[in-house]
Amino acid sequence: MKLVDTGRGLVSRDIFAREDIYGEELEKLFTRAWLFVGHESLVPNPGDYFVSRMGAESVILCRDRARRLHVFLNTCRHRGMKVCLYDQGNAQSFVCPYHSWTYATDGKLVGVPHQDPLYKGLDKNEWSLIEVPRMANYKGTVWASWDAQAPDFLEYLGGAKEHLDMALDRLDGEEGGTVVFGGVHKWIVPANWKLPAENFCGDTYHNPSHRSVDMIGIGPSARDGVKGRRDPELEHAQHLWISFPAGHGIHSAVRSTGEYFAAFKDSKIVEEYYRHCHEARKKRLGDKARLLPFVGTIFPNCSYHGRQPRALCVWHPHGPTSTEIWRFFLVDRDAPAEVKDMLRRFYMRYAGPAGMTEQDDMENWNYATAGARGPIARRYPFNYQQSLGAWRNGDPVPGVVSTQMTEENARRFYDRWSQYLAGAAWPQLLGSEA
Ligand code: FES
Ligand SMILES: [Fe+2]
């Protein structure tokens, strides 16, 4: 059988465990697709850096002395040592710990110990840190691609933009204005990276996994008697599962009523803030304010949670059966301290390695990956047949849309994945004919 046969709704377990397929992903997918690297709010000042990853490789997001952003491979040009051993900080320059070659914050090689007489004739301009050829700063989020031929980031994003926007814009509907707040949660799970990526494409079917959290009330406002893991923001809403040609899968919703839903009994400041944002968003966006974000995956491995807990999640490949999860929490830059504190508590009880909801998901991904390893189990494909064929084009929003729960987004995610592994050209990877 083909590894991916979405016409019949079948995907081989091999792609979630085989070492050689993982190697191909690193070679053919992670070297080409646009990848989320970080957020400019993590590097506000000259010399600030945040060490990130692109695929399995370490990269440095850095703001140079002239305040320009760069993304460098975190490897010395001499013998490959990491030039930056820390997660985040501020540096005058990057001094390699091995033999002290020194790079400026714009990546230029500026120091080679004993250059004279040891490296006579060395042209330092040729030995700068390796920089990504393509980088985009979109509303503070920094993305990069190793493929110089990659289309512009906005073209790559396509119609997924208006959904991602809702996670990146302020709660009152004004464009941009969100920042990463608190630390970045980072942890490793024994799961293939594609399982969480497809889950965030809109796997609504997995709700029973969260039954225990839904029996109690852990939502941000956690009103008396209101159960569930989030506030009931998406009640009375038409849910939409939408996929876009570059492989992005989105789950958003259109609310039928414009009423305010939360009730923060414990804090007048928090209550006023949310009520104000709600009214201001309605005023600013009109009918469009009815569209609400839920979750989505920007192909291949960056997902967002658009309501609360508002976050960007990266599923870094860490081996065929291992994923390093990074979670960046987002908040409006000018939200009151009381709101940030309330959210900090909610984010911790919901998400991250100890989050009550996240633990349910991790357990599923861990065992599903284990279930893809056995030589007998691998003879039997996974079933992706939910709502086969039940989609419409551009109705009621742009994209391939289903108003019924579906695995269409996952099917299209794996179609795109196969095309990268087959070495397809860009027009095809964007859904156009070559
Ligand atoms: S490996 Fe960096 S200076 Fe030698
Ligand atoms: Fe979940």
The tens digit of pLDDT for each residue in 102-118 reads: 999 999 999 999 999 99
CA of residue 322 to ligand 1 center, whole Å:
29
Does an H or E element contain 252, and which? Answer: strand 249-255
Residue 20 neighbours by CB under 8 Å, 6+ apart = none
Distance between Cα 130 and ligand 2 center (Å): 37
User: How would DSSP label each residue in 370-394?
Assistant: HTTTSTTGGGSPEE--TTTT--EES
For ligand 1, atom 4, which residue shows the shortest CA distance? 99
- What mean pLDDT do residues 22-26 have? 98
Calculate what percentage of the chain has a pLDDT beyond 90.
Answer: 88
Cβ contacts of 392 within 8 Å, gap of 6 or more:
400, 401, 402
CB 409 within 8 A of CB 202: yes
Does residue 310 contact residue 330 with C-beta atoms inside 8 Å?
Answer: yes
> How far is residue 88 from each of residues 38, 42, 61, measured CA to CA in Å?
11, 8, 9
Backbone angles phi, psi at 239, to 5 degrees: -80, 145
Sign of the CA dihedral running 356, 361, 365, 371: positive
pTM, full prediction: 0.96
Under 8 Å between Cβ of 82 and 57: no
Q: What is the mean pLDDT of the chain?
A: 94
317 contact partners, CB below 8 Å, separation of at least 6: 22, 25, 26, 30, 55, 56, 193, 301, 323
Ligand 1 atom closest to 97 (CA): 2
**CA–CA separation, 39 vs 179, rounded Å?**
8
pLDDT-derived band at 230, boundaries 50, 70, 90: confident
Q: Please state the atom number of ligand 1 nearest to the C-alpha of residue 101.
A: 3
Whether 204 and 239 have beta carbons less than 8 Å apart is answered as: yes
Instruction: Specify the pLDDT at position 305.
Output: 95
What's the rounded Cα separation, in Å, for the pair 91 and 399? Answer: 44
Ligand 1, closest atom to CA 76? 2
Q: How far is the CA of 278 from the centre of ligand 2 (A)?
A: 26
Ligand 1 midpoint to CA 45 (Å): 27
Pocket test for ligand 1, best of 79, 93, 110 (most atoms within 8 A of CB): 79
Report, as an integer, the average pLDDT of 364-381.
Answer: 97
Return the residue whose CA atom lies nearest to atom 1 of ligand 1: 79
Q: Which residues line ligand 1 (CB under 6 A)?
A: 76, 78-79, 81, 96, 98-101
Place of tokens 């079917």: 205
DSSP state of 34: -
Ligand 1 centre distance from Cα of residue 134 (Å): 26
Atom of ligand 1 nearest to the CA of 100: 3
3-state secondary structure of 96: coil
- Which tokens hold the place of 226? 């209101």
- Residue 224 — very low, low, confident or very high, per pLDDT cuts 50/70/90? low
Q: Whose CA is nearest to atom 3 of ligand 1?
A: 99
Compute the distance from residue 260 Cα to the ligand 1 centre, in Å. Answer: 58
Report the alpha-carbon distance of residue 316 to residue 332 in Å, rounded.
26
Q: Give the pLDDT band of residue 334 (cuts 50, 70, 90).
A: very high
pLDDT value, residue 434: 40
With cut-offs at 50, 70 and 90, classify the pLDDT of residue 179: very high
Q: How confident is the model at residue 223 (pLDDT cuts 50, 70, 90)?
A: low
Kindly give the distance from the C-alpha atom of residue 359 to the centroid of ligand 2, in angstroms, as a whole number: 9
Say whether pLDDT at 319 is over 50: yes
pLDDT for position 226? 73
Identify which ligand lies nearest to the alpha carbon of 309.
2
- Say how far apart CA 304 and CA 327 lie, in whole Å: 9
Nearest-ligand number for the alpha carbon of 101: 1
